[in-house]
Amino acid sequence: MLVIPEWAIGVSFIVVVIAVANTIFFRRGRTARTGAGAGGHDLTAAVEDLQKRLDALEEGQRRVAELEERLDFAERLLARQRDERLAPPKG
């Protein structure tokens, strides 16, 4: 079973934020070089894109947390069954 470490989610978030920031600054720099205005539409679209990515990341974090809880529960069940098998017979 594939388990994603918590630090990997944080690193993924940082990579996404840096990619979006680079896109925003690259567009702004390109617009300034061509002499056009700042383009509020581009900025709005970039913010909406960033919000969608953030929502997707939060959903992924929620799913990972739920899977971690399920895994912990399964491990506890297996440990209890093993302890019952290895314990001396009752009676």
- Residue 90 covered by a domain: no
- Residue 81 covered by a domain: yes
The number of residues making up the chain comes to 91
Q: How far is CA 86 from CA 34, 82, 83, 90, in A?
A: 76, 6, 5, 12
- Residue 91 covered by a domain: no
Contact predicate 46/27, CB 8 Å: yes
**pLDDT for 86:** 85
- Residue 24 covered by a domain: yes
- Residue 16 covered by a domain: yes
- Residue 56 covered by a domain: yes
Q: Report pTM.
A: 0.48
Q: How many domains does the chain have?
A: 1
Domain span at 28: 6-85
The one-digit pLDDT tens for each residue of the chain (91 residues) are 667 777 778 888 888 888 888 888 887 766 555 555 556 788 999 999 999 999 999 999 999 999 999 999 999 999 999 888 888 877 6
- Residue 10 covered by a domain: yes
